[in-house]
Structure 1
Amino acid sequence: MTQSDAFLSTAKRVIAQEAEALGLLSDSLGTEFTTAVETILRAKGRTIVTGMGKSGHIARKIAATLASTGTPAHFVHPAEASHGDLGMIGDDDVCLVLSNSGETPELADVIAYTRRFKIPMIGVASNPDSSLIRACDVALILPKAAEACGHGIVPTTSTTMTLALGDALAIALMEHRAFTADNFRVLHPGGKLGSRLTKVRDLMHVDMPLVSAETPMREALSVISDKGFGVVGVIDADGQLSGIITDGDLRRHIDGLLDKTAGDIMTLNPMTISSDALAEKAVARMDERAITCLFVRDSAEDGRPCGILKIQDCLRAGVV
């Protein structure tokens, strides 16, 4: 076996072993998981997630996932808790305490504090007879599964199961709260995820180039030039968008153009998009038709135009 083959063999063994452990975790879930979700839902304060070492790193990620999906949460380092950060845990909070062994000494003060002030505590550990599990109000037991290192000492399988359990809690809470993509974007406006959830209404221009069908083309050309979108929309007496004039329409009617009206040369029934649509959908629609802008309709206003969106606006916002 070559060195490359050995590397791949190890990788596949580790992933297969951890995947098997996740199956065991899924099969082990029962009423205690439901109780844990209900305990977090009842809390009027935040979910405090804590753990030491590798469990601490997992705890930070779980706290971040909870916070970004509608469950206020933050991480408290157990060592810092013993030096004043216990004050970050309020009477209305609930604690989610992670320790694979259930015997992490640095967690002792956090556990004692929750017991003294009757703060609900959810414990996550693999040892059902551990100090953490005996002390907690809700016990989530990780199934017995060997660490993937082959020596049983490097936190691998256990941290993967703990992370997955945290994700399961977060998504169960999110679905119960009917947390939507719009809610997520409010909490996650930055980065690629934020840009993917940007709505058309967030990027559109409300100062639209609009004329009536009776408008002389000399005036319509002035509107195209002044507004700077390269197009002009044509509206009817009810304010509905009935047509659009693009540079292609101008070229096709160049002969005697200034003797015509907007209604004479417009393209009927132009493509539009709802203000509530995702901006990435607008980009896809513009790419499909090889156009550079779309009029935006407002469903709350009987489909009347409420803005115009340029593809450049989407690209600048990172919507690609």
Structure 2
Amino acid sequence: MSTLRCAIRDGIMTATMDITRERIAATEAVIRPHIRRTPLVQADLVDFGLPALPVTFKLEMLQHSGSFKARGAFANLLLRQVPQAGVVAASGGNHGAAVAYAAQRLGIPATIFVPDITSPAKAERIRGYGAKLVIAGSRYADALAASEAHVAQTGALAVHAYDQAETLLGQGSVGLELEQDAPGIDTLLVAVGGGGLIGGIAAWFSGRTRIVAVEPEQSPTLHAALAAGAPVDAPAGGLAADSLAPKRVGELMFPIARAHVERVVLVSDEAIRQAQAALWSSLRLVAEPGGAAAFAALLSGRYRPSPGERIAVLVCGANTTAVTFDS
């Protein structure tokens, strides 16, 4: 392991570790050889039947393993000490696929626990990357409990989907790329599950760009946490339950969100379906429900931009079988 990588790892693992711009930039330098710099697509809201306004889409669904999660997965595997027993992760699907992919590329054994609501597309990706797939329970929390028992038995390294410093640091590299490639954005819409993505991005921008969280009405984890003043259990259902429905947001991301996320917008399952269809119809972008949720806030009018507002939308995942190619 390089001197730089050792230094970064030692800094990250200190008890007083903060999720800062400096540490995000240092982490991005380590994971850069292993991740894609995902592109931007410029469009206009008039293409979607809305008042004319330019919008920038960050296509993180084109990341390795089909979602932004590869960033956090590589950050964990490269910056932490991995035992001979390998790594274990609990996931609704995307995190598991990302950890499986990173582990395959780095020659590390991986065991992934998922609930039975995980989509077939995501389960197949995990198996295809050579990881051992274990179905455990009906919700993410069930898979997490099973993975924790596995860690206790085997000594494998647990790679948490969102409540781990390295995970947030890796996901924060999305913000770094966006600021470099599209400077001057006023507002960024980001879907929220456990909060690793929005926590990392909000830490990167640190109030310099308006961050709007988008959650399904049936999985309002961050909305509930901000109302309560701390992470609390919330309903975990709906169309995007396999990617945006943990029981609660992470402890690490919560103070970041409280400081730097302007608001939470809730969207219906029908709005998410319409956003998926609109992204495909107008831009030929394939997005899973969680990946389309941020755009659903714009399309449904739950978030109404001001005239001249410079908007960016993160399309964060594409692991779906919603589009088939029969001809």
Q: TM-score range with shorter-chain normalisation?
A: under 0.3
Q: Relative contact order (alpha carbons < 8 A, sep ≥ 6): 1 or 2 greater?
A: 2
TM-score, scaled relative to structure 2 = 0.25
